[in-house]
Homo-oligomer: A and B are copies of this chain.
Amino acid sequence: MKIAIYGYGNLGRGVEAACAACPDMELVGIFTRRDPRSVQPLFKNTPVFSSSEVLSHKSEIDVLILCGGSATDLPAMTPELAKHFNVIDSFDTHASIPEHFAAVHSAAEESGHLALISAGWDPGLFSIARAYAGAILPGGQAYTFWGRGVSQGHSDAIRRIPGVKDARQYTVPIEAALESVRRGENPQLTTREKHLRECYVVLEEGADAVKIEQEIKTMPNYFADYDTSVHFISEEELLRNHAGIPHGGRVIYTGRSGKEQEHGHVIEYSLKLDSNPEFTASVLVAYARAVGRMHSRGTVGCITVLDVAPGDLSPRSAADLRKDLL
């Protein structure tokens, strides 16, 4: 299967690496909006093209993996490119998914392509975990916890405060909440009861630590509704101990069965990821395989991870998977 990468940041690099781990995949190249000569691919043999040339490579690409951001790139990019390619994206603005789906569906259906939106882990694998559990034990309750992991958005918010040189924010699930959910207590949890926010901040010389700590802790939307801890550290320590982009989380679903619903069950799906963008990229590559296959079977329009059977993600034959996994 021939794939190509459209957009080359952390996610695009992750796709390049994930593709190299798949012997059934061939990477046609990277398409970038920057000057292609300024882009250093992970592997020196990976071709780099200007995104403006992408249409001239149409016949060489089975599935185009879109590695743009959800805020401004993907809402325009995915419907536009779905007119010419089978595409997949990781659109993750939850509230706008129905609208994005509609735009992509109409473009893909009209041109006879297949598009899959919102692949990744949340939305993505966590959505799948919620879907399975909810269908098997109707009437139960799903809880999603994120972390311990780096939130890029919250780290950026701290960095925008004057006097802050660099920062890293970790989202941390609260153990007592997890335990209550696992015991099947169906707790009603406030935002503050579910997650902590842990901040590591490097100050500019002469910055006022007390004032900045206060500013972080009271920042609306980002921190005001949470218990937040702020740790001032040196730039060296930040680079030494907080250079990675780990993340993860868990979906815990509790439901009941029996004539009188007398038996309780707990289904838990968790991820602990050393690299958030690389793992998301690995999910995209597996779903790109499914998109290629399903399109060759005649499926067109827009789909999501909820429409893909697990067997279609694997390069192995159905008989092989049955023998090994069942």
Determine whether the beta carbon of B306 is less than 8 Å from that of A326.
Answer: yes
Residue in B42, B128, B136, B266 whose CB lies within 8 Å of A282: B136
Residue in B134, B258, B307 whose CB lies within 8 Å of A278: B258
Interface stretch of the complex, out of A17-25, A53-61, A206-214 = A17-25
Interface status of A37 (Cβ within 8 A of chain B)? no
Residue in B129, B258, B282, B283 whose CB lies within 8 Å of A275: B258
Interface status of A240 (Cβ within 8 A of chain B)? no
Residue in B134, B306, B310, B323 whose CB lies within 8 Å of A131: B310
Determine whether the beta carbon of A275 is less than 8 Å from that of B257.
Answer: yes
Residue in B131, B182, B313 whose CB lies within 8 Å of A311: B131
Number of interface residues of A (CB under 8 A): 70
Interface stretch of the complex, out of A81-89, A93-101, A156-164, A219-227 = A93-101
Determine whether the beta carbon of A313 is less than 8 Å from that of B136.
Answer: yes
Interface status of A238 (Cβ within 8 A of chain B)? no
Which residues of A from 204 to 246 have beta carbons under 8 Å from B?
none
Determine whether the beta carbon of A269 is less than 8 Å from that of B268.
Answer: yes
Determine whether the beta carbon of B265 is less than 8 Å from that of A314.
Answer: no
**B residues near A283, Cβ cutoff 8 Å:** 136
Name 24 A/B residue pairs within 8 A (Cβ), A-sorted: A17-B259, A43-B259, A130-B325, A131-B311, A132-B313, A135-B289, A135-B315, A136-B283, A138-B315, A257-B279, A257-B282, A258-B275, A263-B274, A263-B275, A263-B278, A265-B271, A267-B271, A269-B269, A304-B311, A306-B310, A306-B326, A307-B311, A308-B309, A309-B309
**B residues near A313, Cβ cutoff 8 Å:** 131-132, 135-136
What is the chain B residue whose CB lies nearest that of A122? B326
**B residues near A137, Cβ cutoff 8 Å:** 279, 282
Interface status of A127 (Cβ within 8 A of chain B)? yes
Determine whether the beta carbon of A257 is less than 8 Å from that of B128.
Answer: no
Interface status of A169 (Cβ within 8 A of chain B)? no
- CA distance in complex: A278, B318 (Å): 29
**B residues near A135, Cβ cutoff 8 Å:** 286, 289, 310, 313-315
Cβ of A221 to closest chain B Cβ, rounded Å: 22
What is the chain B residue whose CB lies nearest that of A275? B263
**B residues near A325, Cβ cutoff 8 Å:** 123, 127, 130-131, 134, 306
Determine whether the beta carbon of B306 is less than 8 Å from that of A321.
Answer: yes
Which residues of A from 294 to 324 have beta carbons under 8 Å from B?
304-311, 313-315, 318-319, 321-323
Which residues of A from 170 to 190 have beta carbons under 8 Å from B?
182
Given A135-B314, A136-B282, A271-B265: A319 and B130 within 8 A (CB)? no
**B residues near A128, Cβ cutoff 8 Å:** 132, 310
What is the chain B residue whose CB lies nearest that of A294? B309
- CA distance in complex: A310, B263 (Å): 24
